[in-house]
Structure 1
Amino acid sequence: MTTSFNRRQILARATATGAIGALGTSFATSAWAQAAAAGAAARSAPPKAPKLVGTLRIVIPANPGGGWDQTGRALGAALVGAGAADQVEYENIGGKGGTIGLAKYAEKYGNDANTLFMGGMVMVGAVALQKPAVDMGQIQPLARLTSDYLVAAVAAQSPIKTTKDLADAMRADLKAVPVAGGSAGGVDHIFAGVLARATKANPEGLVYKPFPGGADVVEAVMSGNAAVGLSGYSEFSDAIAAGKLRAIGVSSRRSAFGLPAFREQGLDAVMANWRGVFTGKGVAPARAAEMLAAIEAATHHESWTRTLKQNRWEPSWLTGKDLAEFMELDLTTARVMVYLLKLKA
């Protein structure tokens, strides 16, 4: 706990004083990666899932097909399988890194004890960039569920074949290497800046093209609308397997998904994406505790563990005070990175 507190103090002070540049990108991304890896302590076997309601609703602040959508639907299936609900209705509200869905959820379901909300690091980055009127302080975090790493991919016919090719191209003319990814300010956008900075290119020259879903990113790269795409492995896996995209590297510290890490190839570019589940600010503590118990039981259901394995997501369960402190650090770090990389909404 002391380490996280000290790191948070340093980041907060740097943000407040404007002395952010002295931190350096490597420190900020290192803090982010360390925080994303925290809280993976073993859990005791959960009790049987409490029955929450006949029909449970899960609001997903993204278009169908992306990481939040996949996670939300997998969680819904596991909640039904564990007996917490008879059925789950899904409501997708995409746009602006989840902040549009966040605002609508807070307004419509802030007191609804039968509606859950998906979120994660992408939303944290979008909040840091956009400074929306409704932020994550308007919802209650229940649990961090998974962590994922970002894959950089190019079209099969691209002249970029290795991390060195990518670094050389970005360093030579960053504007000629447009990058496609998720919403502006999200993890893909910030990691694009981290990559550019790691290649010694000026991140201010970054051409970033945001899209609402992973399928759109794949299409942008395959059509030539972008030179490089950034997304989670699960969103690229089909196109990679079909030979339509070629993966260049992954944002983990070591090889993952059978792909070499950027760090192993000489680029200090490490970042982990996390996804979690929330409820409304007005939901009573006792009901929130019931929801959490049901979610924990669902994460032990075979359908959930099977989905983790299929999508190669890392379980990263975190709740309570530890989750609140993790999110505070995450938001502070996102603000630092937005400043360092000169990102604009």
Structure 2
Amino acid sequence: MRRDAFLKTLLLGGLLHALPVRSAEPPVLKLLIPANPGGGWDLTGRALGEALVSSGQAASMSYENRGGAAGAIGLAQFANAYGGDPHALMVMGAVMLGGIITGKPPVGLSKVRPIARLTNEYNVFVLPPQSPFASMREVLVAFRNDPRSIKWGGGSRGSTEHVAVHMLARALGVDARRINYVPFRGGGEAAAALMAGYLSVGGSGLSEFLPHITSKRMRAVALTSPERLPGLDVPTLREVGQDVVIGNWRGVCAPIGLTAEQRLALIERVRLALASPSWNASLAQHRWMSEPLLGEPFEAFVAAAFESMRAVLVKAGLS
């Protein structure tokens, strides 16, 4: 009997070891979005959250919007509240780099670790339906002749659309001090101001304004892309005589204080989410360009992008 019991124990143990090991349950992930609801960062963050859940990389998501100062307010909140949290992410992007360079906030990129680049998109300049201008060429003629008469609106100081306006001013010989630019904390606020007739021209990421363009509540007149985008009958700034090209990439970062294993786990979760049908559907819906870059290569990209943005801002008179 003892021998039989011993054999049964061995057999049972062998069977148990042969069974697949149940993987740990996915965690609840927290995502801080350093912008108000309705803008490009908000759309990107929530689309990523849906992809993380649908791909089984998160049990659920919690979101926190902290807009203002081109993401600097949210960055400070993330650094102070989520340090060392292996289940926390924050949306980041080109706009945040511009905000840090121009605003020089006390909390900078040294307080986060870049995890993944998600998308890239270009900006679009739009007019309200009642605009007296028929094209971007007409806007630029008026801007050159009387800069203060054109009220531009878009993201925070240092955002890619703000930089684009300064690049246009420099190309046209307009004194940067005469630019009439109104910064908003998100694309939703800028859209509302434009449609209410408060602005002459609005600028933002294409995905933020696309629903309003489609519904004809805005009229797209120029893109900051090097060439026209598929499916859109909208000229580039190059086509209207101004060699201004600037993109707006978006990604996510983690807090500092994680172990290498924790950081790699977050990178893998994001990688699997980016391969999901949910994420691919969001790319198509918002016309985002998929440009994934993970881990250390993304860290190197952010460092290089920071220096490149600094050079552009210095040339544009913003730093």
TM-score with structure 1 length normalisation?
Answer: 0.82
- Alignment equivalent of 2:256, drawn from 267, 277, 281: 281
- Alignment equivalent of 1:66, drawn from 39, 50, 53: 39
Q: CA–CA distance in 1 between the matches of 2:265 and 2:296? A: 17
Task: Name the amino acid aligned to 2:275.
Answer: H
Moved more, 150-159 or 334-343: 334-343
Unaligned runs of 5+ in 1: 1-49
Task: Name the amino acid aligned to 2:183.
Answer: P
- Give the match's secondary structure for 1:56: strand
Moved more, 292-301 or 327-336: 327-336
- Give the match's secondary structure for 2:84: coil
- Alignment equivalent of 1:303, drawn from 278, 282, 285: 278
Q: CA–CA distance in 1 between the matches of 2:294 and 2:283? A: 19
- Amino-acid identity (%): 37
Shift of 1:215: 1.7
1:261 counterpart = 2:243: no
1:218 counterpart = 2:155: no
Q: CA–CA distance in 2 between the matches of 1:217 and 1:193? A: 18
Q: 1:316 to 1:275 in 2, by over 3 A?
A: same
* 1:29-83 deviations in Å (ceiling 9; x for gaps): xxxxxxxxxxxxxxxxxxxxx8674311111111111111111111111011111
Partner of 1:208: 181
Partner of 1:122: 95
Aligned residues: 295
- Give the match's secondary structure for 1:85: coil
- Give the match's secondary structure for 1:224: coil
Q: 1:52 to 1:271 in 2, by over 3 A?
A: farther
- Give the match's secondary structure for 1:94: coil
Partner of 2:14: none
Shift of 1:265: 2.6
1:185 counterpart = 2:178: no
Q: Residues 52 and 291 of structure 1 are in contact (CA less than 8 Å); yes or no, is this contact kept in structure 2?
A: no
TM-score with structure 2 length normalisation?
Answer: 0.89
Q: Residues 251 and 262 of structure 1 are in contact (CA less than 8 Å); yes or no, is this contact kept in structure 2?
A: yes
Unaligned runs of 5+ in 2: 1-22
Q: CA–CA distance in 2 between the matches of 1:158 and 1:330? A: 36
Q: CA–CA distance in 2 between the matches of 1:290 and 1:326? A: 20
Partner of 1:96: 69
Shift of 1:241: 1.8
Shift of 1:323: 1.9
CA RMSD, Structure 1 to Structure 2 (Å): 1.5
- Give the match's secondary structure for 1:143: strand
Partner of 1:106: 79
